[in-house]
Amino acid sequence: MAMCSMRNIVRGLRSLAPWRIAFVAFFFSTFGAATLAAQSAIATAHPLATAAGYKILEQGGNAFDAAVTVAAVLAVVEPYSSGLGGGGFWLLHRSADMKQVMIDAREVAPAGITPSMYLDRKGNPIPGATLVGGSAAGIPGMPAGMIHLAEHYAKLPLRQLLAPAVALARDGFPLDGRFARIAEAKERMLRDGVNTARTYLDNGHAPQPGYVLRQPQLAVTLERLAQQGRRGFYSGPVAQSLVDAANATGGAWQTSDLELYRIVERAPVRFTYGGATVVSAALPSSGGVTLAQTLNILEQFKITDARDPATAHVVIEALRRGFQDRMRYLGDSDFVKVPTATLIGKRYAHNRAATIDVNIATPNDTLAIEPVALASESYNTTHYSIVDQDGNRVGGTLSINSWFGAGVVAGDTGVLLNNEIDDFSLSSTIANNYLLLGSRANAMVPRKRPLSSMSPTFVEDDKGVLVLGAPGGSRIISMVLFGILDYVNAPKVDLERMVAAPRYHHQCWPDQVEIEPDSFSPAWRAALEAKGHRLHVVGRRWGNMQVVFKSKTDGASQAASDPRSMGGY
Ligand code: DON
């Protein structure tokens, strides 16, 4: 092995949390597959998912095989983040024919959805209706997405790909501190939810780290999926249980909603920034469009480090404009006309950039909307990045929306329903859980997909290829933006810094810059306040970014995981 790739591996290892280092060391010594490891990289939010992904590569699978296995294992070990009851987006690059595609496995609204389920007679939102119970849940896309990945891109049989998840659900696994902390934070919800106490609590209490969580019913559902494919989930007894559970808790589901669920292969959003090609999520995720707009605007300015106060001002102003357009124009393009080509064009960005004053913040325009109450911070999602020895890539961002989704485990299926309906806009003045406002473009309509911010992204230039993404609702977009800026503008690729560096965020409304606590100096804050920005220090740091990089020089690959989840959420 070339010294250079060894150096990269060592650097990659240094970026890993201790348990990840332990795993990779185990991988090297057990399988003696240093070359394979050096040429491939997997970053996920959980060591058991990373381990299962590497093992599938070792068994002859490609990045797409690993992507199915990782998604299924995350559904078992991070049930608060993603799962069979949820959905998401996978961005794929297949090296054999250079095909790049986004698999849209976003949840859809059931045919029976009506705004009256969420708004009272006066037009006020009914508390909790978009967040708790069956009314909050969209028709899941995750199983269909995994099956599509397996059938069209992977090499190994679905049974083999799902086997690690089945075993972990059936035999159990010891909970880590993160699970214990999240379960404690959501203990009441889990006690009050449907079948959630018996599924996730230990005798009615949040389990301690080390508690072995077994999910035998989920194991059976995963086995059904492995044996019967989509039929095992979208029709028959599992589908019936999902419909019954949703409808018993405020939903309006029909079995035909499940029968008719289809993933969509979509062309990703593609643009250039600073000589790099960026490929990111297409609608119904706002990620690619908003990133393209923001970066096209930033291209008009001299950008240094995104955390430098002068640059931060311009980044905030670019985000303000990108998110303003997100609010005005974006929604599921199968249902509404979205001027995507214009929005992501360089000319439009040129005009938008011209309205930025480098000395002073632009006040939000005439739509005078009072900043609404701060969002609860209990949201979760998961992202993973994979690159294999052949150069295939996968960025997958999967979600059930907020922690433990709608708080309903359907019957005996072990499947937790999502609460992605909250991502629709109930009206132009009602913000969702992430304080996002939207227009009619994102109005709730039967079978429509709610607008998302999930942004699995590739960045490619002469140095190599980066795969990145993160959970975090609307903040996903600014996190991925920083990742791209860091990659393109920093003198050398430094994944460790990319995942660890402090974060700020602006989304037009509310007109405030959210900043991570203990992350920005008084001088930094004073510089931004002097330009007219209102800063809001958020209670805790956010995100759980997972990044992999493959060098074009020698094919060496490295991975880095956000340190925030260690000791945090
Ligand atoms: O699709 C979306 O944009 C949201 N439902 C994602 C939720 C999320 O990232 C929560 N993570 N912390």
Look at residue 5 and tell me whether its pLDDT is greater than 80. Answer: no
* Residue 104 and residue 282 in contact, taking contact as beta carbons nearer than 8 Å: yes
How would you class 540 by CB atoms within 10 Å of its CB: exposed for 0-12, middle for 13-18, buried for 19 or more? exposed
Q: What is the pLDDT of residue 38?
A: 81
* Average pLDDT estimate for 291-306: 96
Average pLDDT of the chain, as a whole number? 91
Whether 454 is in the pocket of ligand 1, judged by its Cβ within 6 Å, is yes
Whether 471 is in the pocket of ligand 1, judged by its Cβ within 6 Å, is yes
Q: What is the largest CA-CA distance in the chain?
A: 69
Residue-wise over 506-528: b if at least 16 C-beta within 10 A, else e?
A: bbbbbbbbbbbeeebeeebbebb
Residue closest by Cα to atom 6 of ligand 1: 473
User: 379: pLDDT confidence band, cut at 50, 70 and 90?
Assistant: low
Residue with tokens 């194991």: 219
DSSP-derived letter for residue 301 is: S
Whether 452 is in the pocket of ligand 1, judged by its Cβ within 6 Å, is yes
Q: What is the pLDDT of residue 1?
A: 25
The span from the CA of 485 to the CA of 500, in Å, is 14
Residue closest by Cα to atom 5 of ligand 1: 401
Q: Which two tokens stand for residue 302?
A: 């001299």
* Residue 502 and residue 482 in contact, taking contact as beta carbons nearer than 8 Å: no
Nearest-atom index, ligand 1, CA of 422: 5
Whether 472 is in the pocket of ligand 1, judged by its Cβ within 6 Å, is yes
User: 34: pLDDT confidence band, cut at 50, 70 and 90?
Assistant: very low
Lowest mean pLDDT among 140-149, 363-372, 489-498: 363-372
Look at residue 279 and tell me whether its pLDDT is greater than 60. Answer: yes
Whether 561 is in the pocket of ligand 1, judged by its Cβ within 6 Å, is no
The residues near 372 (Cβ < 8 Å, ≥ 6 apart) are 431, 435, 510
* Average pLDDT estimate for 370-393: 73
**How many angstroms is it from 475 CA to the middle of ligand 1?**
9
**How many angstroms is it from 420 CA to the middle of ligand 1?**
8
Look at residue 308 and tell me whether its pLDDT is greater than 80. Answer: yes
Residue closest by Cα to atom 2 of ligand 1: 452
Q: What is the pLDDT of residues 241-266, one digit of tens each?
A: 999 999 999 999 999 999 999 999 99
**How many angstroms is it from 553 CA to the middle of ligand 1?**
35
Minimal CA–CA distance to 410: which of 134, 72, 139?
134
Lowest mean pLDDT among 307-316, 369-378, 494-503: 369-378
Whether 287 is in the pocket of ligand 1, judged by its Cβ within 6 Å, is no
Whether 473 is in the pocket of ligand 1, judged by its Cβ within 6 Å, is yes
* Residue 548 and residue 386 in contact, taking contact as beta carbons nearer than 8 Å: yes
Nearest-atom index, ligand 1, CA of 476: 9
The span from the CA of 89 to the CA of 79, in Å, is 17
Q: Which two tokens stand for residue 70?
A: 């990782």
DSSP letters, 469-501, are: ----TTHHHHHHHHHHHHHHHSSS--HHHHHHS
Percent of the chain with pLDDT over 70: 90
User: 7: pLDDT confidence band, cut at 50, 70 and 90?
Assistant: very low
DSSP 3-state of 318: helix
Mutate to test the pocket of ligand 1, among 82, 434, 480, 538 (most ligand atoms within 8 A of CB): 434
Whether 420 is in the pocket of ligand 1, judged by its Cβ within 6 Å, is yes
DSSP 3-state of 350: helix
Q: What is the pLDDT of residue 20?
A: 45
Angle at alpha carbon of residue 104, lines to 100 and 110, rounded to 5°: 165
* Residue 382 and residue 82 in contact, taking contact as beta carbons nearer than 8 Å: yes
How many residues would you count in the chain?
569
Whether 8 is in the pocket of ligand 1, judged by its Cβ within 6 Å, is no
Look at residue 158 and tell me whether its pLDDT is greater than 50. Answer: yes
Minimal CA–CA distance to 320: which of 508, 503, 494, 149?
508
Reported as half-sphere exposure (CB side, CA atoms, 13 A), residue 84 has a value of 35
Q: What is the pLDDT of residue 366?
A: 47
Q: What is the pLDDT of residues 192-221, one digit of tens each?
A: 999 999 999 999 999 999 999 999 999 999
Name the CA radius of gyration of the chain, rounded.
22
* Average pLDDT estimate for 383-412: 98
Distances (CA, A) of 516 to 88, 377, 507: 26, 13, 15
pTM of the predicted protein model? 0.93
Separate counts of helices (H) and strands (E) for the chain: 21, 19
**How many angstroms is it from 421 CA to the middle of ligand 1?**
11
The span from the CA of 275 to the CA of 66, in Å, is 30
Other beta carbons within 10 Å of 554: 16
Look at residue 2 and tell me whether its pLDDT is greater than 60. Answer: no
Residue closest by Cα to atom 1 of ligand 1: 452
Residue closest by Cα to atom 4 of ligand 1: 473
Q: Which two tokens stand for residue 306?
A: 């995104």
Q: What is the pLDDT of residues 8-32, one digit of tens each?
A: 333 333 344 433 433 443 343 333 2
Q: Could you give phi then psi for residue 271, rounded to 5 degrees? A: -160, 175
Nearest-atom index, ligand 1, CA of 402: 10
Higher pLDDT, 518 or 365: 518
How would you class 314 by CB atoms within 10 Å of its CB: exposed for 0-12, middle for 13-18, buried for 19 or more? buried
Nearest-atom index, ligand 1, CA of 106: 1
Whether 317 is in the pocket of ligand 1, judged by its Cβ within 6 Å, is no
**How many angstroms is it from 539 CA to the middle of ligand 1?**
18
**How many angstroms is it from 433 CA to the middle of ligand 1?**
10
**How many angstroms is it from 88 CA to the middle of ligand 1?**
9
**How many angstroms is it from 397 CA to the middle of ligand 1?**
9
Whether 395 is in the pocket of ligand 1, judged by its Cβ within 6 Å, is no
Q: Which two tokens stand for residue 81?
A: 């983040």
Mutate to test the pocket of ligand 1, among 178, 383, 401, 538 (most ligand atoms within 8 A of CB): 401
Look at residue 174 and tell me whether its pLDDT is greater than 50. Answer: yes
Q: What is the pLDDT of residues 499-553, one digit of tens each?
A: 999 999 999 999 999 999 999 999 999 999 999 999 999 999 999 999 999 999 9
- Cis previous bond, 517, omega within 30: no
Kindly report the three-state secondary structure assignment for every residue of 443-462: CCCCCCCCCECCCCEEEECC
Whether 516 is in the pocket of ligand 1, judged by its Cβ within 6 Å, is no
Residue with tokens 């007894």: 237
What is the 3-state composition of the chain as percent helix, strand, coil, each rounded to the nearest 5?
Answer: 40, 15, 40
Residue closest by Cα to atom 8 of ligand 1: 473
DSSP-derived letter for residue 363 is: P
457-460 and 464-468 as β-strands: parallel, antiparallel, unpaired?
Answer: antiparallel
DSSP letters, 174-188, are: E--HHHHHHHHHTHH
Catalytically active residues, by annotation: 381
Kindly report the three-state secondary structure assignment for every residue of 38-79: HHCEEECCCHHHHHHHHHHHHCCCCHHHHHHHHHHHHHHHCC
**How many angstroms is it from 96 CA to the middle of ligand 1?**
32
Look at residue 449 and tell me whether its pLDDT is greater than 70. Answer: yes
Helices (H), 78-154: 142-152
Q: What is the pLDDT of residues 314-353, one digit of tens each?
A: 999 999 999 999 999 999 999 999 999 999 999 999 999 9
**How many angstroms is it from 529 CA to the middle of ligand 1?**
29
Mutate to test the pocket of ligand 1, among 82, 106, 379 (most ligand atoms within 8 A of CB): 379
Whether 309 is in the pocket of ligand 1, judged by its Cβ within 6 Å, is no
DSSP 3-state of 108: strand
Look at residue 375 and tell me whether its pLDDT is greater than 90. Answer: no
How would you class 299 by CB atoms within 10 Å of its CB: exposed for 0-12, middle for 13-18, buried for 19 or more? middle
* Average pLDDT estimate for 490-495: 94
Whether 399 is in the pocket of ligand 1, judged by its Cβ within 6 Å, is yes
Distances (CA, A) of 384 to 28, 73, 202: 21, 12, 29
**CA of residue 98 relative to chain centroid, distance:** 24
Q: What is the pLDDT of residue 295?
A: 98
The residues near 214 (Cβ < 8 Å, ≥ 6 apart) are 169, 170, 171, 172
Whether 453 is in the pocket of ligand 1, judged by its Cβ within 6 Å, is yes
